[in-house]
Structure formats: C-alpha cells, structure tokens
Amino acid sequence: MRIFDKKMDALKKLSWEEFYKTPMKKKLNYFENNGRMFDCLFAQQFTPENLARLFEVANKIRKIAKSKEGLDWLQTLLSHKRAMLYFVQPSTRTFVSFQSACYILGMQVSEIRSTSTSSELKGESPEDTIRTFSSYADMIIMRHFEEGMAEKAAWMLNRTKRPISIINGGSGKDQHPTQALLDMYTLHLSFLDKGGINNKTIVMVGDLLRGRTVRSLTYLLKHYKGVKIIYVSPEYLKIGNDIKDFLKKHKMPYKESGDLDKELKEADAVYMTRIQDEYDINGESKNIDFSKFHLTKKHLRFMKKHAIIMHPLPRRQEIEIEVDDDPRAKYWRQERNGMWIRTALIAYITCIEDKILNI
C-alpha cells in the first residue's frame, strides 16, 4: 500500500464529489509516490524537469531500438508486468501508440475497446469494471468519453490495498495529457537548432472550445519563456474562459482571431484541429462555416520557412492533402513521436528510466 502524509490522508478521506471539486494544485501530490508521478492524468503534472527527463529517455529508447539486440533488451525491462488498455472512446493513434509502447518494453497487454464487450453491458458500473482490471494488471491506460473518469479511477485505486498506475489517454472534453506530451516533444525536436521552444509563436486553429488537445498543450507551454499563443477559430468555437484565466494568471501573451491568413505570417508552429462535432447537443456544428479555417497549399507561401505544421489527428478537410509534401508538415512525424514519448512515460512511471539512460 502507498504511504500518504497527513495532508494526503485528509484528501483520502474525502468523497469523490469533494475530491473532484478540490483545486488542482492541492490534489496533484495525491497522484505521486515518493515525490514522482504515479498516475498520469493532467498536463499540469508535467514540469520543466520531468519534461526534459522524458525527452532524454525517449531519445535514448529510439537509439537503442534501432538494432534487434537493443530492442530485445528493451523488451526484457517490463516483461514481468501487465497493462490493460481500456479504450471505450474511439481511438486509432493513442491506442496503437500505447499498445506499441507496451510491446517495446515487453509488457503483456489486454484490451477492452467497447463497453459492449465487458460486463458494463450487463449493468456493471465503470468503477467496478476498473476495480476488476486492477486485479489482473499492473497499469491501466484508459480513454473514456466521461470527463473526469480517469481521475476517478486513480482516486479510487489509490485508496485500495493494491493501487496501480492510471494513464489518461483522453477524458471527455477535459484533458489529453499524453497528446500534449507528444506535441511538446515534437516542438522540442523541431526547434532544437532554432533556439528551442522559448520565444516562439504558436497558432492554434479550429474547434478550440471543445478541443482537449489544445487545452492540455496550453498548460504545458507555460513552462517556456516568451511563448505567444494565437487562437484562431470561428466565433462559436473560441477558447474557453478557464484557459484565458490560466493565461492571464501566468502572464502568457495570447491573442484571439478569426483571420487565419493574417495570423499564419506570425507562426513558428501552426497547430490545426478538426471540428469536434461528437460533442454537439443539437447538431450545431452544421451551422458553422469552417472553410475559412482550413489550411491549403496556397497558405504555405505566407508561412515562415522554419515554421512547422502540426495536427493531433484524425483530420478531415482542415489540412489539404497537398500540404503533406511540404517539409514543414510534421503531423505524421508527430504521430510517430507519440509512440516513443509514451514508451518513455511508461518507463518513467515504472521507475526504469535510469536503466535505459545508463546502458
């Protein structure tokens, strides 16, 4: 059982409703063990120090995995551990990259990809389903349509005699911390020879109101000096007030705009997103003209030569296929980066990263 200090003991006694309403800053330590990340639930858990550490580990894993001998060695590191991939919200990239990350480190993997294939179809609660998984796995990586469910799973299991780590692979409209992690890794790699991420202008485009990747990435950008964010969206899909309050609190310069052509000229990185119509209540997305927020080949001539184009994927029409051939288009590399940085995250949470770095 994990050992909690007096402050954490007080949190442990709260009901879920009370805990969920507790300010983020006061409860982050609840998801740590001996001062390091135990559960990965929020982008706010990442610090400049552990980001740098994760980037270093990911780079080393990539290097080791280039040879059969190296990959065979990596697969011995967690061959005694089991992971459950509990993905009951549609996913391609997040699921496959986490599955691949587990395989790289030798973890045995089980999966549930729909509530229709579990006892939830018979009326079992998600909480009981998660408790069941914890009997068979050493880690649960989950993606859930219900906001806060990953946090609830971690809160619940940390109160038991057999707590296991929870990694949030996407939680409703709320957060997607590991997408933000791979986005930061992509920015880091792209700007290594251009002064790093500091003092760069990031233009985020699309459905900013409901896009959890934009929210999580904003939280991480606060760790870099002089970063400016320009949010470009239709009026109805503007970034939420909670994010604007966060930016003001941390004195991060930002701007809101509806003019993609104009803002592209300033961009060091353009972060495109699709319209999140799965969160529509009455089909309201059909009434929004999204065409002015599509990136086409003609836009490329407005952009800086060193600028990069990113997208968390999947895409629809918001990036023209012809853009793919431009060397500034990084979204397919961004996708592959996700596998390596998620491998590094699993290594970090399971405390084996020193073995990797010291080989």
Determine the angle formed by the axes of helices 212-221 and 177-190, rounding to 10 degrees.
60
Binned at pLDDT 50, 70 and 90, residue 107 comes out as very high
> Average pLDDT, stretch 202-215?
92
Q: Which of 276, 172, 178 shows the shortest CA–CA distance to 220?
A: 178
Cα→Cα distances 242→30, 208, 225, 245, Å:
23, 12, 21, 5
Label residue 48 exposed, middle or buried (CB < 10 Å: 0-12, 13-18, 19+).
exposed
pLDDT in tens, 236-258: 899 999 999 999 999 999 999 99
Q: What is the pLDDT of residue 121?
A: 67
Mean pLDDT estimate for the chain: 92
Binned at pLDDT 50, 70 and 90, residue 55 comes out as very high
Least confident range of 4-8, 56-60, 173-177, 316-320: 4-8
* Cα 57–chain centre separation: 17
Reply yes or no on domain 6-176+338-357 having CATH 3.40.190.10: no
pLDDT greater than 70 at residue 18: yes
Against a cut of 0.75, is the pTM above it?
yes
Q: CB within 8 A of 296, min separation 6: which ones?
A: 320, 322, 323
pLDDT in tens, 159-181: 999 999 999 998 877 788 999 99
For residues 295 and 323, the answer to whether their CB atoms sit within 8 Å is yes
Q: Kindly report the CATH number that applies to the domain delimited by 178-336.
A: 3.40.50.1370
Token pair in block for residue 336? 């592959």
Ranges for all domains in the chain classified under CATH 3.40.50.1370: 6-176+338-357, 178-336
Q: Which of 206, 210, 354 shows the shortest CA–CA distance to 270?
A: 206
For residues 211 and 183, the answer to whether their CB atoms sit within 8 Å is no
Residues tagged active-site = 93-94, 122, 143, 176
pLDDT greater than 90 at residue 140: yes
Percent of the chain, pLDDT > 70?
A: 95
For residues 271 and 311, the answer to whether their CB atoms sit within 8 Å is yes
Percent of the chain, pLDDT > 90?
A: 79
Q: What is the pLDDT of residue 4?
A: 53
> Average pLDDT, stretch 117-136?
84
pLDDT greater than 90 at residue 280: no
Binned at pLDDT 50, 70 and 90, residue 259 comes out as very high
Label residue 258 exposed, middle or buried (CB < 10 Å: 0-12, 13-18, 19+).
middle
**Beta partners for residue 270, in sequence order:** 203, 309
pLDDT in tens, 89-103: 888 899 999 999 999
Strand order of the β-sheet with 108-112 is: 108-112, 82-87, 139-144, 165-171
Binned at pLDDT 50, 70 and 90, residue 145 comes out as confident
